[in-house]
Amino acid sequence: MPESCEASVILSGDLHARPAGLLAMAAATFESAIELSAGDNRADARSVLGVMGIGATSGQQVTVRATGADAEAAIAAMTDILSQATAVGS
């Protein structure tokens, strides 16, 4: 049975193109399926446009879910990027 986990991060900045690109590139290195959600919006973390499309803004909670053999590592990488990259200006 595949492993799965979930974590949430409160954004310190908007989820714009730069952090969305970092997330998509990092997500592509994992075997696990990774999904980001903010409010009712969900996206595959491998899609830059999808990640930007969830419309997450500063102060909003983003939930990261991963399912697969490397789910824990994927969650750790995504939450690290979300907590650091969104604070960086475009």
Catalytic residue among 4, 5, 12, 16, which?
Answer: 16
Burial class (CB in 10 A: 0-12, 13-18, 19+), 21: middle
Residue 24 is among the residues annotated as catalytic for this protein = no
CA 10 – CA 44 distance, rounded (Å): 19
Active site residues: 16
